Amino acid sequence: MKTSETLAQSVASLSGIGSQSVIRLEKLGVHTVQDLLFHLPLRYQDRTKIYPINTLLPGMSVLSCGTVEFTDVLMKGRRSLICRISDQTGFLSLKFFHFSAKQQAILSPGTLISCFGEVRQGYQGLEIVHPEYKVISSTDNITEPCLTPIYPLTDGLRQATVRKAVNQAISLCLKDQQTICDYLPQSVLENKQYPSLNQALLSLHQPEQQLSTQQLQQGNSPALKRLAFEELLAHHLSLLKNKKAIKKWQAAVFNIDKLLSQSFLNALPFQLTRAQQRVIDEIVSDLSSSHPMLRLIQGDVGSGKTIVAAYACLLAISSQYQVAIMAPTELLAEQHLGNFKQWFKDFDSHIVYLTGQLKGKARQQALIDIEDGTASIIIGTHALFQDSVIFNKLGLIIIDEQHRFGVHQRLALREKGQHKNTRPHQLVMTATPIPRTLAMLQYSDLDISIIDELPPGRRPVTTRVIPSERREQVIAKINQWTVNKHQTYWVCTLIEESDVLQCEAAEKTTEYLTQILPDVKIALIHGRMKSAEKEAIMFGFKNHDYDLLVATTVIEVGVDVPNASLMIVENAERLGLSQLHQLRGRVGRGDQESYCLLMYQSPLSETGRHRLGVLRETNDGFVIAEKDLELRGPGDVMGTRQTGQMQLKIADLNRDLELLDDVQEAANIICSQYPQAIQPIIDRWLGQSTLYSEV
């Protein structure tokens, strides 16, 4: 049989793998022989040599041998069985809390045994608690030829079963001439001095003795690096492939009416910044091509992304196409609705609002308008991609604060607009800058525009980091702010992402502040309020009916009230830097000096201090994102678990970040010189999940 066929075989074909084991292996994502080869050990045990007892140190997990001196049941403290063994160099205690009389009998004085386990310091010298042990007749032939791999397991699956299966897979596919196909070009392997795939897999399952366990454990072995590299490469290639695939689709060409766009811009109360103008030009050029645009706008909070989106919207509706604008929260959707109504009031447009809260007749009417084409601009939340929503002629999709949406939601909306061989254009916007290195793993299927300039006249927000013991002073500041006719946000956070608890905390805080600040008009807003209620409160706050708005993190995105110039964030140490930066972006929108007070619960950890310090020192979202990456690691910054976008099997971004530049270079080489390798690499690593990496 050819290796490729063997690789594709079910694990059921291996001896020792019954139907129960098949099910258990499937839970680990292991279906085929190839999957087994890529099912790598979590760690290793060293049973390659016998350690004399006097060379043992606490913390070591090694193999030792000795003769039993005595075995006793100890009644002091917790009942235990103590077996003392010795070799010529010293003695070692083996300790059991769970034991049987039979065990006690076996471990009789004079018996030679081997044992394995983690050594620790006991009251009477070194000991191993619950070691593995075996009665032996001599110390010959008890060592293993290579480090012992420890595989990830699931309930009921035994280490020995997996080991045996992997060994068979290795014999079938990695030994002798049978070589698993290596798709990495020779030049890349040589350049990085990587082992071949065959060698890499072999050395991870059956490590050569000269590889230290430590090196393997820390993921520093060339073999592991090579596999991590290939996995990251697969993700990157898959995005690049999607980018190319998009261009095979057709899309509506939007014509630009110079007069119309001039009158639109002239009606604005401000002039576009150069950065906004540049990004608009990029979008205009995309929209005048007959292939779908897929563009990401990155721009710091307050950089003015919305008006850029509105301009794209104008182009679409003046070419008689519909536009769908999706925002992550109702609050933000409502605010967009207000802005768009204002901006488009003198233009031929019919704006429809659709969120989950819209019910009954109003909802029916909205759906009818969307379907028969009466609606030209449809603004809403993720309710927009429900099955009942049928667009008439969707030409452009705008997704605001895209990092808040799951990949599935984005895909669903795009599929809605799909029609024969055409697809809508897509514009996604985010205020969470992604560090350059990570962008290539998340966004290399998108074209990226950056608005790197804030509208003129903005003053940076002054940020202070304050322990919660100084709460009184902070509250006094609110009084002073109110007297000066400025407004304040008070943001309540919690550790758990629990809506209910967060709202409760906000309610309590509101009661408390109402008591001690009798002259301050206070309102409360949280995620569990009805849409109309929230709208009324936001409107009231904007209108300065209230001086202080107590809020949960619902106000994180988008909210725009220029007269609010003081923000207090409680338990700031619990939030990510980028999220705090987002929150802070709610102030500093007017022309007066603004402050953000980050309150923390003492004591603050060293990292916590460092992190909050970053916010005090800079207002630049890109710098903050880089710092966040440095301090929290990529996992948290990308929020991969949240989006389920990248399920890395072997690579660990916290460990392998430095590979990314080379991954990009290798991808370029493969795309230009070895395009036939692209699909096999993607298939090998992403398999079924390819769809989800499509943004």
Q: Which residues bind Mg ion (CB under 5 A)?
A: 558
Number of residues assigned to the chain: 695
Nearer to ligand ADP by Cβ, of 507 and 560: the residue is 560
Nearer to Mg ion by Cβ, of 403 and 526: the residue is 403
Q: Give the 3-state secondary structure of residue 217.
A: helix
The option from ligand ADP, Mg ion, none interacting with 53 (CB < 5 to 8 A, set by class) reads: none
Rounded Cα–Cα distance for residues 190 and 212 (Å): 23
CB of 672 to Mg ion, least distance (A): 38
**DSSP one-letter string for 123-184:** TTEEEEES-EEEE-S-STT-S-SSPEEE----TT--HHHHHHHHHHHHHHHTSTT--PPP-S
Cα–Cα nearest to 439, from 230, 239, 679, 687: 239
Residue 128: C-alpha distances to residues 105, 142, 372 (Å):
19, 19, 76
Binding part of the chain for ligand ADP, among 73-81, 104-112, 159-167, 265-273 by CB under 6 A, reads 265-273
By CB under 6 A, residue 273 contacts ligand ADP: yes
CB of 275 to ligand ADP, least distance (A): 9
Rounded Cα–Cα distance for residues 517 and 515 (Å): 6
Collect all residues with Cβ–Cβ distance below 8 Å to 49 and sequence separation of at least 6. 63, 143
Nearer to Mg ion by Cβ, of 558 and 621: the residue is 558
**DSSP one-letter string for 180-202:** PPP-S-HHHHHHHTPPPHHHHHH
| Identity of the residue numbered 175 | K
Q: Are 167 and 11 in contact (CB under 8 A)?
A: no
Nearer to ligand ADP by Cβ, of 219 and 590: the residue is 590
The option from ligand ADP, Mg ion, none interacting with 203 (CB < 5 to 8 A, set by class) reads: none
The option from ligand ADP, Mg ion, none interacting with 205 (CB < 5 to 8 A, set by class) reads: none
Interaction pattern, residues 548-567, with ligand ADP; x per rule: CB under 6 A:
------------x-------
The option from Mg ion, ligand ADP, none interacting with 534 (CB < 5 to 8 A, set by class) reads: none
Element (H, E) at 405: none
448-467 binders of ligand ADP (CB under 6 A): 455
The option from Mg ion, ligand ADP, none interacting with 70 (CB < 5 to 8 A, set by class) reads: none
CB of 303 to ligand ADP, least distance (A): 4
Residue 473: C-alpha distances to residues 477, 592, 597 (Å):
6, 21, 11
23-82 binders of ligand ADP (CB under 6 A): none
Residue 541: C-alpha distances to residues 512, 559, 605 (Å):
20, 11, 36
Cα–Cα nearest to 40, from 670, 664, 649, 681: 649
Candidate residues 70, 97, 270, 512; the one interacting with ligand ADP per rule CB under 6 A: 270
Nearer to ligand ADP by Cβ, of 271 and 654: the residue is 271
CB of 560 to ligand ADP, least distance (A): 5
Interaction pattern, residues 425-444, with ligand ADP; x per rule: CB under 6 A:
------x-------------
Q: Give the 3-state secondary structure of residue 549.
A: strand
Cα–Cα nearest to 552, from 615, 495, 499, 488: 499
The option from ligand ADP, Mg ion, none interacting with 560 (CB < 5 to 8 A, set by class) reads: ligand ADP
CB of 465 to ligand ADP, least distance (A): 24
Over the Cα atoms of the chain, what is R_g? 32
CB of 622 to Mg ion, least distance (A): 16
Candidate residues 162, 251, 307, 686; the one interacting with ligand ADP per rule CB under 6 A: 307
646-665 binders of ligand ADP (CB under 6 A): none
User: Which pairing describes strands 377-380 and 322-326: parallel, antiparallel, or unpaired?
Assistant: parallel
CB of 558 to Mg ion, least distance (A): 4
CB of 563 to ligand ADP, least distance (A): 12
The option from ligand ADP, Mg ion, none interacting with 272 (CB < 5 to 8 A, set by class) reads: ligand ADP
Nearer to Mg ion by Cβ, of 127 and 556: the residue is 556
Nearer to ligand ADP by Cβ, of 94 and 275: the residue is 275
Nearer to Mg ion by Cβ, of 232 and 307: the residue is 307
For residue 68, the cross-strand partners are 85
Binding part of the chain for ligand ADP, among 20-28, 268-276, 489-497, 665-673 by CB under 6 A, reads 268-276
Rounded Cα–Cα distance for residues 139 and 162 (Å): 27
Rounded Cα–Cα distance for residues 541 and 527 (Å): 16
CB of 561 to ligand ADP, least distance (A): 9
Q: Quick one: how far is CA 444 from the chain centroid?
A: 16
Nearer to ligand ADP by Cβ, of 83 and 327: the residue is 327
The option from Mg ion, ligand ADP, none interacting with 131 (CB < 5 to 8 A, set by class) reads: none
Collect all residues with Cβ–Cβ distance below 8 Å to 44 and sequence separation of at least 6. 147, 148, 149, 150, 207, 213, 216, 217
CB of 399 to ligand ADP, least distance (A): 13
The option from ligand ADP, Mg ion, none interacting with 117 (CB < 5 to 8 A, set by class) reads: none
Both tokens assigned to 546: 């209230």
Nearer to Mg ion by Cβ, of 453 and 507: the residue is 453
CB of 239 to ligand ADP, least distance (A): 25
Interaction pattern, residues 142-181, with ligand ADP; x per rule: CB under 6 A:
----------------------------------------
| Identity of the residue numbered 198 | N
Q: Are 305 and 451 in contact (CB under 8 A)?
A: yes
Q: Which residue sits closest to ligand ADP, CB atoms considered?
A: 304
287-306 binders of ligand ADP (CB under 6 A): 299, 301-306
Q: Are 479 and 568 in contact (CB under 8 A)?
A: no
CB of 268 to ligand ADP, least distance (A): 8
Residue 378: C-alpha distances to residues 195, 320, 626 (Å):
54, 14, 35
Nearer to ligand ADP by Cβ, of 301 and 653: the residue is 301
Nearer to ligand ADP by Cβ, of 41 and 585: the residue is 585
Rounded Cα–Cα distance for residues 598 and 582 (Å): 13
- Cα maximum dimension of the chain: 101
Residue ranges that bind ligand ADP, judged by CB under 6 A? 270-273, 276, 299, 301-307, 431, 455, 560
